[in-house]
Structure formats: C-alpha cells, structure tokens
Amino acid sequence: MFDRTGIREGMVVRSSDGEKLGKVFAMGEDAFHIEKGLFFPKDYVARFSDVTDVRDGEIILAHGRDRLRSADEASFASTRTSSMSGTATGAGAGYGLNEGLNASATRDANLNASQRLDSDREVSVPVAREELDVVKREREAGQVRITKEVVTEEQEVDVPVRKERVRVERRAVDPSRPAMNASFKDETIVVPLREEEVDVRKRVVSEGDVVIHKDAVEEERRVAETVRREKVDVRTDGEVEDADRARSGFTAPDDDPLKRY
C-alpha cells in the first residue's frame, strides 16, 4: 500500500503500462489533477484509490489512460464537490482540487490569449484579379462551290470528200478496122460510181484541270472583354502607427488620406 503523503505536486504520473500521463498539478481530498502539457493541454483527473505505487518519485496508476476522466467532466466535478463540501476546512483544504482546476483553466486561457496575440500579428488578405485567357477555335467561315454544267453548241467542220462522176467521151476509130465480138444483141453495161460520205463521231478529250488552292493567312484581330480585380482599401481607426513611417521618422497628420494598395 502506497503512502498518500508521498504524493506531491509536480510528480510524474504513469499508467499501468508505463505511459507517461503528465504531472500532478493540483490535489484535492480524494483526487488529484494531472496536467498533460503546456502547448496542447489534455488534463485528466485521477483518484487516490487508482494509485498502486509510488516508485522513484513517480506515481504508478492501476489502469491505463483510457479509464481516466478529463478534468472538465461534470459528473466528476459534482462528485468532487459533494465529497469535499463537508471536509474542506482549514488552510490545507483552502487550495483544493476546485482551486487547482480553476487555476489550470486560467493558465490555459492566458496561454490561448498569448497564442492568439502571436497569430494576430500578421494578417494575410488574399487579393485576386481576372485575366483574359484567349482560346482560339476553328469554325467554317464560308464555302467555295464549284459547279460543272453541260453546255451544247453547234460546231462546224469542213471535211474534204471525194466522189466519182461520169465523163463520156466518144472516140473515132478507123473504119477499116474490123469490129470484134459484135453480137448484135441488146445489153446494158453498168459502171458503178463511188463517193466518200461523212460519218460524224464524238470523242471526249481533256481541256485541263481546275485546281483550288487554300492558303492560310494570318492577321491580327483585337478582342476586348471586361475583367475584374480586387482593390484593397486600408483604413486606420484610432492611434495606429505605420511601422515603415515610424522607422523613417515621418509622422502622418491627422487628415492623412487612406492608404491604398
């Protein structure tokens, strides 16, 4: 069994598995306040009945951190108030667990206020503006339509042709020459006559090609659009001194106009 009088403020508190839980910040009649840390405080409350041993100046609890209750639990606060209302007498009880918790809350509030003061020393105000983002796209600007029509026309060609014609010539002979092969019969002698006639035929010949060329011509075209931008207007109220002017020794008059950026 541990000696309760051996527990003092500032002693390290460990769980049953050896985890460091914090240090004793304040003690009451049946419980004590464990302070976790300064920058990220997470305070717990443990009862004296949870202590199994005090070893090498450190307090060993009988369970782990998961079974501890936080310092702001109302259930424990009401239990502590009811248990200490009849016993908190004298100077020793004047600084009980309630005062310790209040002091811890005051310390945390002062620490948070100090942190807020450090973070408020620089305020970043984002300023944005719009820019024109020109995007080109292709579209159909027009068409070139090529139409072929069939046109008929009369064409005359002079063609030389030949033909045979009859030319009758009567020749005189010597009367003393005997007539050979005289049959003294009726007969008809046919002499054929020939001529050339014109037969017109058509054939397709090429007159040439019609070639369409497309050339890309670059030209400047001006586009206009309305853009927006954010303008920062800094107004100073009260006795606010410009750090840059203070370093240079310049003091702004009372009617100093607005500082614009």
pLDDT of 179 strictly over 90: no
Q: CA 128, 132, 136, 137: dihedral to nearest 10 degrees?
A: 70
pLDDT tens per residue, range 131-164: 988 888 888 889 888 999 999 999 898 999 999 9
pLDDT of residue 79: 43
Cβ density class 31-59: b for 16+ within 10 Å, e for less? bbbbbbeeeebebbbbbeebbeebeeeeb
Mean pLDDT of 94-100: 46
pTM, full prediction: 0.30
pLDDT tens per residue, range 15-73: 888 888 888 888 888 888 888 765 545 678 888 888 888 888 898 888 887 887 765 55
Lowest mean pLDDT among 115-124, 133-142, 179-188, 235-244: 115-124
Report whether 13 contacts 61 (CB < 8 A).
yes
Burial class (CB in 10 A: 0-12, 13-18, 19+), 98: middle
Mean residue pLDDT across the chain = 75
Rounded Cα distance, 104 and 20, in Å? 19
| Strand partners for 51 | 61
Task: Say which DSSP state 108 is in.
Answer: H
Rounded Cα distance, 5 and 20, in Å? 21
Could you tell me the pLDDT band of residue 206, with boundaries at 50, 70 and 90? very high
All structural domains of the chain, each given as residue ranges with its CATH number in brackets, are 4-119 (2.30.30.240)
